[in-house]
Structure 1
């Protein structure tokens, strides 16, 4: 097949070129920054934080999946790779951000439900008018969402996040 030294040399050059191109086009697999991965306890605490955030929403499983996605995005860890110890502060900060947002959203949703029960069912107001008014209020709330996001977290939520940060 390859009979001369020149043919072998061309073959070697082509082989080197091919494999170097392969390496350039297919970067190495994900290498975690931290050698130390989260322990089972750490992962359990994180799962409990996620449950605490998503609990109470109608689509709890969707919320839970989306929160895991947001945490992976924030930490720069794609699925199915594992979080490392170096990601704990990033994960805690992202959980805090999501808690603030979700608490504000839950409050708005609960208020809307209470108003609907009181106004439409008890006071017999026109349902379409009440829904339209609620949509307008929600739009106004969205415009001033920064005020809602600055609400402080409940003490137990802060404690959960601190517990996760301290790895107890």
Structure 2
């Protein structure tokens, strides 16, 4: 697999593909959330869009009983979750190969995202994330800083999203 990093001339946006890691889809009933969180050593926020981090792992609440968890390869989260399955029944699926993550940063990162995203990403608080669409692709947008975002894209939609971002970057460069 190749990783790309693009910055053309004095472009106001940097687009990078982040190296893959462990990505898990978790479904657990709210009554069992705390037990599972303790076992994994990672808080599972209850507010949709909220994130929690510990030991290099990060959990994003996508719904009342749904989380996306990212962690370094080899993290022991699946084993820890399996150990408490009888007390906290859940579904934990490794979806690491399903998506890629792009990092968008720079003074035009918000503008680049809003070209094809109906969500008001400028209004997203730093430290939150949301499932939305970018043109026709379902994505998850993470706001890591005032001008720093991550966007999770299904691998099959990645060429389409990259092409749109390349067009946006070209237009930004032409406007300089």
TM-score range, shorter chain: under 0.3
TM-score for the superposition, normalised by structure 1 = 0.24
TM-score for the superposition, normalised by structure 2 = 0.23
Structure showing greater Rg: 1
Q: Which has the higher helix share?
A: 1
Q: Which has the higher strand share?
A: 2
